Amino acid sequence: MRLDQYWWFRAWAPVVVFALLSYASWSYCYELCYNEIYLNFSQKSVAVGLMCGEVVLTALLIVLWVQIVAVGPGKQPKILPFRLFPDIGPNDAEDDDNDDDEDDSNMTGKKTDIGTIQQTTIRPPTLYQCDPQGYPLWCSTCQSIKANRTHHSAALGYCIPRFDHYCFWIGTVVGRKNYRLFVQFALYFWVFCIYVIASTASYLPGIIRSRDRIPRVNPNILITMALCCMATLMVGPLSSAHIYYMTVNKTSLEVIATNRRSKAKKNWICYLNPANGLRYVFEFRALDAQDYWNKHNAFSNLKEFMGPNVYTWFLPMGTSIRKHHPHTLEYDDVLLSYKEEPSDSLLQLLQDRISNADFSLTFRAFGDKTAESVS
Ligand SMILES: [Zn+2]
């Protein structure tokens, strides 16, 4: 059992961050704004203005933090196995003679006690991430197929669409649903630190000059400034990295997969060639796999992470993910806004590799055949 599977182990870092944020807020408002700017320098309106700005930023951070945890990273709805082969139900195994008389639906489901047909497999999507044999990735904990870019979170115990990373400092997973809130939190945190550092720095020489005794500056003011400098050094690069990842449509997980030991790791994609109805399995290096979803247009990529409406990008509220009410069990309808669209360049690359016979295997999926016969 890993330690990070215990809530009490995961809770200490967020508690420390919250305590430091509260301390910085008190120290800034009381020690700097009230004791120094308001009383010592008698700049009453400046002190009140700076205090209000600080309180608004702190409140914004707490509101965002609560939402990141409350909205959550999103939970991938359960996806039934793909119909790669004809299903063999208990009835089919016993009486082979009747096979021709039975209708198609029997091959895609099993009979339940009350005689209705319960669907057990679905038509495979055009493109899915798979293993070397062309089988889709399966989560044995959730008993579901893992959709493209889904990753199982051990901490939360379910599959997360577009899993980004587990944020140790805020204590939850960042995924498709709360990603925008997380980026906003990082950016506003950065603004908060710059605000505290800049305003403290501008008053610091005056405070030092105004006193003869030691200490010339209240230590809380210096500690707060040092904390904010440290936080800036952490949050600044983090925000910049996430903005860059969004513009090239990558998740932290996909980037990490190419940085560390897993550099040699392989990925596979199963793709239905619309020209001949055959499926092809392609092998990729982890580095190439980063580019599956990159639309090669920074604005389109950003919209996939931050939401379709630009004016909501800075609105510190809500999520762009619609509520899921699937009417059928089919892949697209179950996933809705969690569905990941491959880039045109990836589809072109796959077509080129088919022409060059650069694939590991090819097969015909039963689900694709039944789909053809229907249309
Ligand atoms: Zn899972």
CA of 151 to the centre of ligand 1 (A): 7
Q: What is the C-alpha to C-alpha distance for residues 247 and 294, in angstroms, rounded to an integer?
A: 8
- Residue 332 makes CB contacts below 8 A (sequence gap 6+) with 125, 339
What separation in Å is there between the alpha carbon of 138 and the centre of ligand 1? 8
Instruction: Check residue 102 and give its pLDDT.
Output: 40
Question: What pLDDT score was predicted for residue 329?
Answer: 82
Helices of type H across 27-107: 44-71, 90-94
Q: What is the pLDDT of residue 86?
A: 80
pLDDT of 210: 87
| Enzyme catalytic residues | 167
Q: Give me ligand 1 centre to Cα 228, in Å.
A: 38
Whether cis (ω within 30° of 0) applies to the bond prior to 219 is no
pLDDT, position 116? 58
Q: E strand or H helix at 139, and its extent?
A: strand 138-139
Q: What is the Å distance from ligand 1's center to 139 Cα?
A: 5
| Distance from the alpha carbon of residue 130 to the mean position of ligand 1, in angstroms | 15
Distance 159 CA to ligand 1 centre (A): 4
> What is the CA(149)–ligand 1 centre distance, in A?
12
Domain spans of the chain? Answer: 3-76+166-249, 90-164+258-374
Per-residue pLDDT of the chain (375 residues; tens, 9 = 90+): 566 667 777 888 999 999 999 999 999 999 999 999 999 999 999 999 999 999 999 999 999 999 999 999 999 999 999 998 886 655 554 444 444 444 444 445 555 555 556 778 899 999 999 999 999 999 999 999 999 999 999 889 999 999 999 998 999 999 999 999 999 999 999 999 999 999 999 999 999 988 877 778 899 999 999 999 999 999 999 999 999 999 999 999 888 877 766 666 788 999 999 999 999 999 988 777 778 899 989 999 999 999 988 988 988 888 877 766 667 788 888 888 899 999 999 999 999 999 999 999 999 998 887 655 544
pLDDT for residue 4: 66
Q: Residue 117: which H helix or E strand, with range?
A: strand 117-119
Q: How is residue 144 written in tokens? A: 């579901």
Q: Using the mean position of ligand 1's atoms as its centre, give its distance from the Cα of residue 72 in Å.
A: 15
Please give the distance, rounded to the nearest whole angstrom, from the Cα atom of residue 114 to the centre of ligand 1. 30
- Which residues neighbour ligand 1 (ion) by CB within 5 Å? 139, 141-142, 152, 159
Pairing between β-strand 361-363 and β-strand 278-285 as defined by DSSP bridges:
antiparallel
Q: What angle do CA 121, 123, 127 make, to 5 degrees?
A: 125
- pLDDT value of position 158: 95
Instruction: Count Cα neighbours of 194 within 13 Å in the Cβ-side half-sphere.
Output: 8
The rounded Å distance from CA 160 to ligand 1 centre is: 7
